[in-house]
Amino acid sequence: MMQSEGLKIILSGPSGSGKGTIVKELIKEDFILSISATTRQPRVGEQDEVHYFFKSVEEFEEMIEKGELLEYANFCNNYYGTPKSFIDKSVEEGKDVILEIEVQGAMQVKSVYPDAIFVFIMPPTFEELKSRLIGRGTETDDVIEKRLARAVDELKMYKEYDYIVINDRLEDAVEHIRNIVRAEKLKSYRYKTYIEEMLTK
Amino acid sequence: MMQSEGLKIILSGPSGSGKGTIVKELIKEDFILSISATTRQPRVGEQDEVHYFFKSVEEFEEMIEKGELLEYANFCNNYYGTPKSFIDKSVEEGKDVILEIEVQGAMQVKSVYPDAIFVFIMPPTFEELKSRLIGRGTETDDVIEKRLARAVDELKMYKEYDYIVINDRLEDAVEHIRNIVRAEKLKSYRYKTYIEEMLTK
C-alpha cells in the first residue's frame, strides 16, 4: 500500500545529553542500530556482525578506498567506521536504522544521506548538562571544562538538525523520537508511487 | 521553556475524503477551527463569532480592501472568506488552528503562511472515493463524474502538501494528524530562543 522503505535517523547530542540511553531504549523494539566496522580486537563476548564488523587493517583500508564507509576515524591506532552497505540493506528491507554520530560526523553524513532525519538530543538545561558531566565523578576539572566548551560548540549547530529532543524524562524523549519517525512516514514524497498507481487505475 | 506559538494546519482533500469528519474529531479536544466571515444571513442556531463572523457587504468589502482576508470567494451572491486576524491571534495564544481549505485556496494560503503545515487527506483507494461520492445517493451520474474528475485533479497536487493522511479508519487518521503536530513542535527552528538563552547563561 505505501512505500515501505525504512528511515535513517541520525542522533547527535553533546556528551551528557543522554543520547546513549535513548538509543538503548529505541533498539529494544522498533529500531535497529547501525553496526560499525573496526580493526581493533574483539573483546570477550563481542560477536562479529552483531557488535562490530571486525576487519583486518587491509580489509578496512580497502573499504575506505572503495568508498564503502559513511565516515571513519582512527583512535589509538585502530580504525572505526560506519559501513554504508549495512544501512542501505536495512533501509531497503523497511527497517528504521539509528546512527549515533558526533556532530562533525553527522554533517558529513548529510551529504551522503540528504534524506536522513537529523535529531539533536539536548539536556533540559545547561546546569543539568554540567551536573551530568561532573556527576560521572571520574574526570578532572580541566576535562570537564573542555567537554563543556565542546558541548557549547555542538549546541550552536542545532540549526543543522531537523528536530530537537530535550531529554528531560527518558520515556518522553524516546516517545518524541518515535513520534518524529511516525510523522516522517507520512511525508508526501513517500506517497509518490501510491498516488500515481491510484491515478492510473 | 519552549516557544509556545501554536501551529496553523491546512487540511485539504477531495470531496469524499472524509476531511470534514476528521476536523470534527480534532476540534473536540486539542485544536480550534478557523472561523470564516460571510455576508449571508445567520441560520437558526448560528452564532456570530462562533459559527461565522457575520458581516455586511460593506464590512466584508472593507476587509478585502484592507487585506484582512487570507482568501475569499463569492458563492450565490454571498461572500465567504477567512479572516487572518482570528488565526494570528489564536496562534499567538499558543493554540493550534485548523483551516479546512480547498486545494486551490490552500495554494494561496501557502504564500501568506509559508510556515503552515499542509496536510492532504486521501481516501484509501480510488474505488472507495468513488463509492463515497456515489454513496450520498443524492447526485446525478453527471455530477459524480465531474466530482471524480475534480478529485483526480486535486490528487495530482499532493506534492504541494507536506504530509499525506490516508483516511481508512477515522481514529487512525485523527491520530496521524495529532502525531504530525507533535512532531512539528519538535522542529529545530522552534527552539531558537530556548537554545540561545541556554547559551548566554
Q: Give the pLDDT score at A2.
A: 53
Q: Which of A172-186, B54-68, B142-156, B183-197 has the lowest mean pLDDT?
A: B142-156
Q: Give the pLDDT score at B89.
A: 95
Q: Give the pLDDT score at A188.
A: 95
Residue pair A69/A86 in contact (Cβ under 8 Å)? The answer is no
Are A156 and B199 a contacting pair at CB < 8 A? Answer: yes
What percentage of chain A's residues is helix, strand, coil (to nearest 5)? 45, 20, 30
Are B126 and A201 a contacting pair at CB < 8 A? Answer: yes
ipTM of this complex prediction, to 2 decimal places: 0.87
Are B163 and A186 a contacting pair at CB < 8 A? Answer: yes
CA distance B188 to chain A (A): 5
Q: Which of A16-30, A36-50, A138-152, B151-165 has the lowest mean pLDDT?
A: A138-152
Whether residue B167 is contained in a domain is answered as yes
Chain A positions contacting chain B at CB under 8 Å are: 2, 120, 122, 125-126, 152, 155-156, 158-159, 161-166, 176, 179-180, 182-184, 186-191, 195, 198-199, 201
The number of domains in chain A is 1
d(C-alpha A8, C-alpha A110), whole Å: 11
Cα nearest neighbour of B148 on chain A: A199
Whether residue B14 is contained in a domain is answered as yes
Residue pair A52/A59 in contact (Cβ under 8 Å)? The answer is no
Q: Which of A107-116, A140-149, B6-15, B169-178 has the lowest mean pLDDT?
A: A140-149
Give A155's contacts in chain B (Cβ within 8 Å). Answer: 195, 198-199
CA distance B31 to chain A (A): 18
> Mean pLDDT in chain B?
90
d(C-alpha A24, C-alpha B166), whole Å: 32
CA distance B176 to chain A (A): 7
Q: Give the pLDDT score at B1.
A: 45
Give A148's contacts in chain B (Cβ within 8 Å). Answer: none
Residue pair A164/A158 in contact (Cβ under 8 Å)? The answer is yes
CA distance B41 to chain A (A): 39
Is residue A53 scored above 90 in pLDDT?
yes
Is residue A66 scored above 70 in pLDDT?
yes
Is residue B137 scored above 80 in pLDDT?
no
Mutate which: B156, B194, B195, vs A, most A CBs within 10 A: B195
Residue pair B121/B12 in contact (Cβ under 8 Å)? The answer is yes
Residue B146 binned pLDDT confidence (cut-offs 50, 70, 90)? confident
What is the percent of chain A with per-residue pLDDT over 70, rounded to a whole number? 98
Whether residue A174 is contained in a domain is answered as yes
Q: Which of A81-95, A139-153, B91-105, B107-121 has the lowest mean pLDDT?
A: A139-153
Whether residue B42 is contained in a domain is answered as no
d(C-alpha A99, C-alpha A8), whole Å: 7
What CATH number should be reported for the domain holding residue B147? 3.40.50.300
Is residue A136 scored above 80 in pLDDT?
no
Residue A1 binned pLDDT confidence (cut-offs 50, 70, 90)? very low
- Give me the sheet containing A36-38, strands edge to edge: A52-54, A36-38, A78-83, A69-75
The residue segments making up the domain with residue B110 are 8-34+95-200
Whether residue A81 is contained in a domain is answered as no
Q: Give the pLDDT score at B128.
A: 83
Of the candidates A42, A27, A41, which has an alpha carbon nearest to the alpha carbon of residue A77?
A41
Q: Reduce the secondary structure of B147-200 to three states and give it as a string.
A: HHHHHHHHHCCHHHCCEEEECCCHHHHHHHHHHHHHHHCCEHHHHHHHHHHHHH
Is residue A3 scored above 80 in pLDDT?
no
| C-alpha triplet A62, A66, A67: angle, nearest 5° | 115
